[in-house]
A and B are shown apart, each in its own frame.
Chain A
Amino acid sequence: MEEKATIGVSQQPNRTMAPAFGTLDKVEIAEAVKSVLPGGIPVFKIDAGSQELVKIEIIFPGAGATSQPYPLVSVGTNDMLDEGTVNYSAGALAEQVDFYGAFLQTEATLDFASVCLFSLNKHLANTIPLLEEMIKNANFPEHEFDTYIQNKKQKFRVDEAKVSTVARKRFTQILFGDKHPYGNYIIEDNFKSVNRNLLSEFHSSAYALKDSYVVVSGKIDPRMEDLLARSFQTVEAPKKDKITIKAQALNPDRSSQKYFVEKKEAVQSAIRIGRILFNKTHPDFAAMQVLNAILGGYFGSRLMSNIREEKGYTYGIGSGIVSLKQAGYFFISTEVGVEVCKAALKEIYLEIKRLREEPVSQEELTLVRNHLLGSFLRSADGPFSLADKFKGIFDYGLSYAYYQNYVQTILNITPIELQKLANLYLKEEDLIELVVGKMQ
Chain B
Amino acid sequence: MIKFDRFTLENGLRVIVHKDEYTPLACINILYDVGARDEDPDRTGFAHLFEHLMFGGSVNIPSYDEPLQRAGGENNAFTSNDITNYYLTLPVANLETGFWLESDRMLSLAFSEKSLKVQRNVVIEEFKQRYLNQPYGDVWLLLRPLAYKVHPYLWCTIGKEIRHIEEAGMEDVKAFFKKHYTPSNAIMVVSGNIETEEVKRLAQKWFAGIQSVPKPVRSLPTEPEQTEYRNLHVKREVPSNALYMSFHMCSRRDSAYHTLDLISDLLSRGNSARLYISLVKEQQLFSEISAYLMGDLDKGLFLISGKLLSGVSFEQAESAVFIELEKLKQELISEKEMNKVKNKMESTILFGETSVLDISMNLAFYELLDNAESINNEVGKYMAVTPEKIQQSAREVLVRKNCSSLFYEALN
**A, B: real partners:** yes
The interface residues of chain B lying within 8 Å CB-to-CB of A46 are: none
Contact among A15, A20, A298, A313 for B69, CB-based, below 8 A: A298
Contact among B7, B24, B60 for A2, CB-based, below 8 A: B7
Cβ–Cβ contact B72 & A373, under 8 A:
yes
Contact among A22, A99, A150, A267 for B340, CB-based, below 8 A: A99
Q: Mark A361-376, 1 if CB is under 8 A from B, else 0.
A: 0000011001101110
The interface residues of chain A lying within 8 Å CB-to-CB of B401 are: none
CA distance A123 to B136 in the complex (A): 39
CA distance A50 to B351 in the complex (A): 11
The interface residues of chain B lying within 8 Å CB-to-CB of A161 are: 135, 237-239
CA distance A201 to B251 in the complex (A): 52
CA distance A82 to B343 in the complex (A): 20
Determine if B232 is an interface residue (Cβ-Cβ < 8 Å).
Answer: no
CA distance A326 to B92 in the complex (A): 38
Contact among A5, A91, A100, A378 for B343, CB-based, below 8 A: A100
Q: How many residues of A contact B (CB 8 A)?
A: 83
Residues from 191 to 212 in B contacting A, C-beta threshold 8 Å: 200, 203-206, 208-209
The 8 closest A-B pairs by CB, nearest first: A374-B72, A312-B121, A101-B347, A94-B271, A157-B239, A101-B343, A94-B272, A15-B60
Cβ–Cβ contact B125 & A163, under 8 A:
no
CA distance A93 to B60 in the complex (A): 59
Cβ–Cβ contact A375 & B351, under 8 A:
no
Contact among B60, B73, B96, B97 for A16, CB-based, below 8 A: B60
Given contacts A309-B118, A366-B70, 4 further A-B contacts (CB under 8 A): A3-B6, A5-B203, A161-B238, A314-B122
The interface residues of chain A lying within 8 Å CB-to-CB of B280 are: 147, 151
Smallest CB separation, A66 vs chain B (Å): 28
The interface residues of chain A lying within 8 Å CB-to-CB of B135 are: 158, 161-162
Q: How many residues of B contact A (CB 8 A)?
A: 90
User: Can you identify 12 A-B contacts, CB atoms within 8 angstroms?
Assistant: A5-B204, A9-B209, A21-B94, A90-B271, A90-B281, A98-B273, A154-B309, A265-B237, A268-B128, A314-B122, A315-B122, A315-B126
Smallest CB separation, B353 vs chain A (Å): 6
- B73, B104, B240, B272, most chain A CB atoms within 10 A: B272
**Looking across the interface, which residue of chain A has its beta carbon closest to that of B238?**
A161
Q: Mark A126-163, 1 if CB is under 8 A from B, else 0.
A: 00000000000000000000010011001101101111
Cβ–Cβ contact B7 & A4, under 8 A:
yes
The interface residues of chain B lying within 8 Å CB-to-CB of A5 are: 7-10, 200, 203-204, 208
Cβ–Cβ contact B104 & A381, under 8 A:
no
Smallest CB separation, A177 vs chain B (Å): 28
Contact among B117, B130, B354 for A312, CB-based, below 8 A: B117
Q: State the A residues within 8 Å of B (CB).
A: 2-5, 7, 9-10, 12-13, 15-16, 18-24, 48-53, 82, 90-91, 93-95, 97-103, 118-120, 123, 147, 150-151, 154-155, 157-158, 160-163, 265-268, 298-300, 308-315, 335-337, 366-367, 370-371, 373-375, 377-378, 381-384
Residues from 60 to 76 in B contacting A, C-beta threshold 8 Å: 60-61, 65-67, 69-74
**Looking across the interface, which residue of chain A has its beta carbon closest to that of B284?**
A147
Cβ–Cβ contact B272 & A13, under 8 A:
no
Smallest CB separation, B261 vs chain A (Å): 15
The interface residues of chain A lying within 8 Å CB-to-CB of B345 are: 101
**Looking across the interface, which residue of chain A has its beta carbon closest to that of B96?**
A19
Contact among A10, A308, A377, A384 for B122, CB-based, below 8 A: A308
The interface residues of chain A lying within 8 Å CB-to-CB of B89 are: 378
The interface residues of chain A lying within 8 Å CB-to-CB of B136 are: 158
Cβ–Cβ contact B25 & A381, under 8 A:
yes
Cβ–Cβ contact B74 & A378, under 8 A:
yes
CA distance A78 to B339 in the complex (A): 29
Cβ–Cβ contact A384 & B100, under 8 A:
no
Contact among B72, B132, B209, B339 for A370, CB-based, below 8 A: B72
Given A49-B22, A158-B135, A21 contacting B70 (CB threshold 8 A): yes
**Looking across the interface, which residue of chain A has its beta carbon closest to that of B6?**
A2
